[in-house]
Amino acid sequence: MKRSRKPAAVLPALLLTTALAGCAGGGGTGSNGTLTVFAAASLKSSFTEIAERFEAENPGITVTFSFAGSADLATQLSQGAPADVFASADAGTMAKVQEAGLVHGEPRDFATNTLAITVPPGNPAGIRSFADLGRPGTRLVACAPQVPCGAAAARVADSTGTVLSPVSEENSVTDVLGKVISGEADAGLVYVTDVRSAGTRVEGIPFPEASAAVNPYPAAVLAGSRNEAAAGRFLDLLAGPEGQEVLAADGFGPGPV
C-alpha cells in the first residue's frame, strides 16, 4: 500500500514540471549570436527595419523581438525575462526598470514622439485645433492619465488651459485608434507615429501645443545581457544617422542626443 502511493504522488509533480519546463523555452538570451530586444509596441515597424540593417552589419547575430506595452515589458523584465535591450515608450517606465537594477549603464534617449489629433476619414465633427477638442458635444477619446499617452495629453491640456472631458479614457493608443477608426469617436489623442501607422483609416491633425509634451523614448542595455557588446552596437545604430532616418520616416522626432 505504502509503496504504491509514491508513484501516484510523483506523477502529477512530474507532469507539472515537464509542462512548465516546456513553457519556459521562449526567449533565451543570446550568447550564441542572438540579440533579444524588448521594445514598445509603437516601435515595431521601425525596429524591424533597423534590425535588418543591424544583422547585415553584424553577420552571425540574429535579432529577436518582443513587442508589447512598455509597462508589460517592464513587468516581464522584473519577473526575470531574459533580454539584452529594452526600448521604452516613456521615461517613467525606464526609470522603474533602472531602479530595479536591471539596467547596465545609462539609458539613452534615441527618439521622441509627440501627440497628434486623429479623426475619422472626412473629419465629420470638423475638428481643426486642439481647442476644438474641448468643445461641448465633441466625443473625444484619449488615453487614461495612468498611461504615458494619457499623461502627455493631460500635460498639453494643462499648459494650454483647455479642459478636456473625454467620453472614454483608454488603456492604450490602440484602443483609442480603434474607437476613431470605427467612427464612434469624433476625435482621439494619440502619437504622430500611431496616426502614421494607421494609414488611410484615420486622418491626423498636428497641433503646435503638442510641443508642451514631447515624449522621449529611452533605450538601455540590460544588466542580464550576455551580449553587451552587440547590445551597445544596436543602441549606437538607433542613435546614428541610419537609425534616425528609419525612425523619422515613421514619424518619430530626433532623440536629444
| 14-53 footprint of another protein as x/- string (CB under 8 A) | -xx-------------------------------------
Q: Of 28, 126, 183, 206, which one interacts with another protein (CB under 8 A)?
A: 183
Which one, of 11, 4, 86, 95, lies nearest residue 47 by Cα? 86
For residue 5, give the amino acid letter. Answer: R
Let me know if 50 is exposed, middle or buried by CB neighbors in 10 A (0-12, 13-18, 19+): buried
Q: Least separation, in Å, of the C-beta of 113 and another protein?
A: 18
Q: Rounded to 5 degrees, what are φ and ψ at 212?
A: -70, -15
Dihedral over Cα of 97, 100, 104, 105: its sign? positive
| 190-229 footprint of another protein as x/- string (CB under 8 A) | ----------------------------------------
Nearer to another protein, 50 or 142 (CB): 142
Residue 111: count other Cβ atoms within 10 Å of its Cβ.
29
Do the beta carbons of residue 186 and residue 162 sit within 8 Å? Answer: no
Secondary structure (3-state) at 33: coil
By the rule CB under 8 A, 182 interacts with another protein: yes
Q: Which stretch binds another protein (CB under 8 A): 28-36, 60-68, 160-168, 246-254?
A: 160-168
Q: What angle do CA 41, 153, 181 make, to 5 degrees?
A: 60
By the rule CB under 8 A, 81 interacts with another protein: no
Q: Of 98, 116, 179, 234, which one interacts with another protein (CB under 8 A)?
A: 179
Q: Of 178, 224, 232, 240, which one interacts with another protein (CB under 8 A)?
A: 178
- Residue 254 to residue 141: CA distance in whole angstroms: 27
Do the beta carbons of residue 106 and residue 257 sit within 8 Å? Answer: no
Q: Which stretch binds another protein (CB under 8 A): 20-28, 39-47, 138-146, 225-233?
A: 138-146
- Which positions lie near another protein, rule CB under 8 A? 1, 4-5, 8-9, 11-12, 15-16, 69, 71, 75, 139, 141, 144, 146-147, 166-171, 175, 178-179, 182-184
